[in-house]
Amino acid sequence: MKSAKRSCGTCRDRRLLCDRAIPVCLRCSRSKRTCKGYGLRLSWPIAGDSRRAVVAKQALLWSGTRSNFHAQVIHMSTWDIQMHYHMTAPSSSGNFQPVLRIPILWNPSTLEVGDADLLQYFQCVAYQSLPTFGQNNMHLGNILMRMALSSNTSSATALLKSLLALSSLHRHGVQSQAITLKIASLGALVAAASKPNLGANEMIQHIATGMLLCSFEAYQSTCTSGQWMCYLTGIKEILNTDCLQVSLYDDDLAALKEWVYYHDVLAHFTVRHWATTAKNLLLVQTSNRKDIGPSVLPNRAHLLPDGRIHLSITQSRPLQADDGASQGRRRCIDLLFCLSLAAPPINATLQLLSEVCDAVSARPDDNMSGQKLEEYKGFLEVLDWRIRNLAASTTDDEISEMTTVTQLFQLAMLVYLNRATENLLDQSVRTQQQIEKGFALLSQLASCERQFPVFVLGCEARTDDQRTIILDLIARTESRDSSRSFNHVKLLVQAVWAQDDLANWGLKYWDKLSSIISCCTIVPSLV
């Protein structure tokens, strides 16, 4: 009688001696059990078998902190190496500047969401993503909806279509319906603009349409989103028209002006760094960029296309080169007593940021005389003092959250002012304390939709813990309905980290930021 070379599966499981009879085990037959045979059998670990090393304990799988499980990985690619060679090479070498591109994430689905659904979605959800500073997004969203539904004119239609386009983009990403609605908005806007004798209401609707289209482009933040600067330029041209001067105290127009001013100040910041190459500078010059004057935004600092130092119109005149160092410094100190005319904290923050951009752009060169250098330092001391003494308000939870954001703007401006002027005020210790305070605030926030302080403070991250704080905050923010894409901020900050590591912190701050930002194919929006 033939016998098998090994025990049957049933006897092995029961740990009994098998008689190995063919075709079935006699022991299994007598015990009326199903014989599993003698063939090859896949063996899986038994959960309760402690002798099998393959069986892991559940506690070991999840041991450690949550941050370790969701570890952030920063990649350094050939692009960073090329950028390092470009930044460290002599200026006369004429080497090729790498280009930083952000691909567009296209949703190929064909959607047929009704206008009523998109309008309701904007009213309930999408309004939260409107990039504002110090404004109530719900109030602004209600203003936009009321203006869009006020009439059936071409201006109101353009506003409605742009609102629906942003709602579709926020809900489903970049897809054909959002693009179609955007094109329809532009078509209605062209039709409305071709009509003679537009009234103030129509122009206000055009401003709102332009800001929604600007928000549409800034929301996706890809290499094809550069039209936001064009919309902003057109909006400022409308604001400078005489037709709107009679509506200076219109509540809706005032809310839109605050919205425009926030975008304009942040554009002022990025353009100064982006337009450092000949190609980018040509693009800015040909865009016919108009600046918002004091007649349009009273009690606000307005933007200048050149590098002059410009003070708020509520304060003394700008410093002149022929005043003398002592007289210039005395006049700077006298400015400290003009703070009773200062704007509210939120508006004052943007005003100071605009002045910081102008001051940094007029930073001294190696050929500046000692007298002018002392005058410039005196101006920086006053500007630094005004930023550090920026008032804050804490009346309720919403304003308390805005106060934290204002503090982040305050710290970011101080750090940027010191870094961009190459520590001209000799405040290295104070600047480091401000950086540490900034990271402490960032680590406590559940989200931070305003991208400027995240970018400026993120560029100061030196350790893995600090860089993890930035990346985790961005990830938390992007998961919220009130956020837009942080694509540019993530890429720019990680590019700065890579260059700092490669150059061992030996790069000049202004040159580093300008070289990296100018690699973007469009002007980044940090609203």
Whether residues 158 and 271 share a domain: the answer is yes
| Whether residue 271 is found in the same domain as residue 136 | yes
Domain end (from 289, 310, 335)? 289
Is 241 within a domain?
A: yes
| Coil, strand or helix at 3 | strand
**CA distance linking residue 229 with residue 520, whole number of Å:** 14
User: Is there a domain that residue 400 lies in?
Assistant: no
User: Following DSSP, what letter does each residue of 11-46 receive, concatenated?
Assistant: HHHHT-----BSSS-HHHHHTT-----SS-------
Tell me which range, 266-275, 349-358, 408-417, is most confidently predicted by mean pLDDT: 408-417
pLDDT of residue 484: 87
Of the listed ranges 221-230, 267-276, 339-348, 511-520, the least confidently predicted one is: 339-348
Domain closes at, from 235, 255, 289: 289
Asked whether residue 103 is domain-assigned, the answer is no
Please indicate, yes or no, if residue 188 is contained in any of the structural domains. yes
> Are residue 134 and residue 278 in the same domain, yes or no?
yes
Residues 188 and 282 reside in one and the same domain: yes
Q: Which of 236, 260, 289 is the last residue of a domain?
A: 289
> Do 149 and 37 belong together in one domain?
no
What's CA 307's distance to the chain center, in Å?
25
> What's the pTM value of the predicted model, to 2 decimals?
0.76
> What's residue 51's pLDDT?
60
How many CB atoms sit inside 10 A of residue 187's CB?
A: 14
C-alpha 468/C-alpha 471 separation (Å) is 5
The count of domains in the chain is 2
Q: Write down the pLDDT at residue 94.
A: 58
The torsion defined by the Cα of 216, 218, 222 and 224, in degrees rounded to 10, comes to 60
Say if CB 273 and CB 517 are below 8 A apart.
yes
Measured CA to CA, the distance from residue 407 to residue 400 in angstroms comes to 11
CA distance 246 to 521: 40
139 and 268 part of one domain: yes
100 three-class SS:
strand
pLDDT for 171-227, tens place per residue? Answer: 998 889 999 999 999 999 999 988 888 888 899 999 999 999 999 998 887 766 778
39 pLDDT higher than 50: yes
- Residue 454: pLDDT above 90? yes
* Beta strands per DSSP E along 198-308: none
Asked whether 334 and 325 are in contact (CB, 8 A), the reply is no
Residue 297 confidence (pLDDT): 30
Residue 230 covered by a domain: yes
d(CA 232, CA 250): 20
C-alpha–C-alpha distance, residues 408 and 353, integer Å: 12
Report pLDDT for 460: 96
Task: Report yes or no on 206 lying in a domain.
Answer: yes
Alpha helices in 318-396 (DSSP H): 325-334, 345-361, 370-388
Arithmetic mean of pLDDT, 457-463? 95
pLDDT of residue 132: 92
Residue 437's CB is within 10 A of a number of other CB atoms, namely 15
**Does 68 have pLDDT greater than 50?**
no
Cα distance between residue 109 and residue 488, in whole Å: 26
Report how far residue 243's alpha carbon sits from residue 508's, in angstroms, rounded to the nearest whole number: 46
Residue 272 lies in a domain: yes
Considering the domain boundaries, does residue 482 fall inside one?
Answer: no
Average the pLDDT over 54-80 and give the result: 57
What pLDDT, on the 0 to 100 scale, is given for residue 97? 78
Handedness of CA 125, 126, 127, 129 (dihedral sign): positive
Q: Are residues 152 and 255 in the same domain?
A: yes
314 close to 341: Cβ distance less than 8 angstroms: yes
Domain span holding position 1: 1-42
Determine the straight-line distance between the first and last CA of the chain, rounded to whole angstroms. Answer: 87
d(CA 278, CA 280): 6
Residue 174 — φ and ψ, nearest 5°?
A: -75, 110
Contact 388, 422 (CB under 8 A): no
Please write down the HEC assignment for all residues of 506-518.
Answer: CCCHHHHHHHHHC
- In the predicted model, is pLDDT for residue 15 greater than 60? yes
Judgement on whether residues 37 and 128 belong to the same structural domain of the protein: no
Question: Does residue 294 carry a pLDDT above 70?
Answer: no
Which residues have CB under 8 Å from 56's CB, separation 6+?
none
Q: Return the exposure string of 36-70: e unless at least 16 CB atoms fall within 10 Å of the residue's CB, then b.
A: bbbeeeeeeeeeeeeeeeeeeeeeeeeeeeeeeee
Is the separation of the CB atoms in 469 and 443 below 8 Å? yes
Contact between 336 and 382 (Cβ < 8 Å): yes
- Degrees, nearest 5: CA angle 318-413-443: 170
Q: Give tens-digit pLDDT for 311-348.
A: 332 332 333 333 443 444 444 334 333 332 334 456 78
User: How confident is the model at residue 309, as a pLDDT?
Assistant: 26
The radius of gyration computed from the CA coordinates of the chain, to the nearest angstrom, equals 31
Share of the chain above pLDDT 70, in %: 75
Task: Note the pLDDT of residue 356.
Answer: 94
Length reported for the chain: 527
- Take residue 510 and report the two structure tokens written for it: 């202004």
Categorize the per-residue pLDDT at 84 as very low, low, confident or very high, splitting at 50, 70 and 90. Answer: confident
Residue 52, pLDDT score: 57
Categorize the per-residue pLDDT at 269 as very low, low, confident or very high, splitting at 50, 70 and 90. Answer: very high
Tell whether 22 and 132 lie within a shared domain: no
The verdict on 127 and 242 lying in the same domain is yes
> Is the pLDDT higher at 7 or at 156?
156
Q: What is the CATH number of the domain that holds 36?
A: 4.10.240.10
Question: Residues 6 or more apart from 139 whose CB is under 8 A from it?
Answer: 255
* Segment 102-158, tens digit of pLDDT: 777 776 766 777 889 999 999 999 999 999 998 899 999 999 999 999 999 999 999
The mean pLDDT value for 87-109 works out to 72
How many beta carbons lie within 10 A of that of residue 400, not counting itself? 12
State phi, psi for 118 to the nearest 5 degrees: -65, -35
Given a contact cutoff of 8 angstroms between Cβ atoms, the answer to whether 50 and 40 are in contact is no
What is the pLDDT at residue 223? 67
Residue 271 has pLDDT above 50, yes or no: yes
Pick the range with the lowest mean pLDDT from 151-155, 300-304, 392-396: 300-304
- Same structural domain, 35 and 164: no
Mean pLDDT within 45-73: 53
